[in-house]
Amino acid sequence: MLYEMSHRVLLVEDDEGIAVPLVRTLGREGYTVEHLDHGVPAVDRVGVGDIDLLILDLGLPDIDGLEVCRRVRAGGSDCGILILTARGGELDRVVGLDVGADDYMAKPFGLAELLARTRALLRRRPAAPSGDEAGPEAEPGLRIDVQSRRVWSRGREVPLTSKEFDVLALLCEERGTVVTRERLMDEVWDTNWYGSTKTLDVTVGRLRQKLEEAGSPGAVVTVRGVGFRLEDDPVDA
Ligand code: CA
């Protein structure tokens, strides 16, 4: 698949906790992302005519997301519309699609699933020609450069803290096998470390989230009571 750099996505979401990571993730995928937290300005923005995909929360502070959807379609826009909602009922789904939405996702959802739906909706739409075939899709894999202590996922750098990098590097060295919690604590943290091993869990949690947000093919798997394992086939630089 081509890296459709020129697709423009408008996210309408009033919950910052959802909007911030979404904007970041969509941006990393190469989309041009705009974010609004009210419905009325979103209708106006779509009216300009250059939005390819509208990702729309239903519960907004001014007008309901379904009303946004209705107005956008009434205004003649044929942009893709993906509805995000905490209302998981079948009724909402039917109503949402009835007012002109193309797809629907119930919260909470995974970023990977959101990106898959986004790609599917944009695939049907002609991207303005960018001629760029060297996007992240063209360079799959997790790449770790131990010397420079840098990590790339699908061609994009993943910013890691020093400890996150150390954990990942050790897991990568032992990829496919379990690295015990004790060994991680010994090698990544000082042997004189007497703190709680919760630090390890927090670090692994953040590392896992960063890799997931970067669409990394390498996943950190928890082996309960034992340790952690890196799955898939990361490639050493
Ligand atoms: Ca909301």
**Strand 32-36 to strand 227-231: parallel, antiparallel, or no bridges (unpaired)?**
unpaired
Using the 3D structure, point to which of 76, 92, 122 is the last residue of a domain. 122
Is 176 a member of any domain? Answer: yes
- Report the amino acid identity of residue 137: E
Q: Provide the strand spans (E) within the chain.
A: 8-12, 32-36, 53-57, 80-85, 103-106, 142-145, 150-153, 156-157, 179-180, 219-223, 227-231, 235-236
* DSSP per residue, 159-205: ---HHHHHHHHHHHHTTTSPEEHHHHHHHHS-TT--S-THHHHHHHH
Residue showing tokens 């604590």: 185
Number of structural domains found in the chain? 2
Is 127 a member of any domain? Answer: no
Q: How far is the CA of 59 from the centre of ligand 1 (A)?
A: 4
Q: How far is the CA of 149 from the centre of ligand 1 (A)?
A: 39
Using the 3D structure, point to which of 98, 122, 146 is the last residue of a domain. 122
The SS3 call for residue 116 is helix
Neighbours of ion ligand 1 (CB under 5 A): 14, 57, 59
32 and 82 share one domain: yes
115 and 142 share one domain: no
111 and 18 share one domain: yes
What CATH number does the domain containing 144 carry? Answer: 1.10.10.10
41 and 84 share one domain: yes
Q: What is the pLDDT along the chain (237 residues), one digit of tens a residue?
A: 333 346 899 999 999 999 999 999 999 888 899 999 999 999 999 999 889 999 999 889 999 898 999 999 999 888 999 988 876 665 565 566 677 888 888 888 888 889 999 988 887 665 544 434 333 343 456 888 877 888 888 778 888 888 888 899 889 888 888 999 888 888 887 655 556 677 888 889 989 988 888 888 778 989 888 899 988 654 444
What is the domain range of residue 175? Answer: 138-231
Would you tell me how many other CB atoms lie within 10 Å of the CB of residue 216? 25
33 and 112 share one domain: yes
Q: How far is the CA of 57 from the centre of ligand 1 (A)?
A: 6
Is 193 a member of any domain? Answer: yes
> Whole-prediction pTM value?
0.52
Is 129 a member of any domain? Answer: no
Percent of the chain scoring above 90 in pLDDT:
31
54 and 115 share one domain: yes
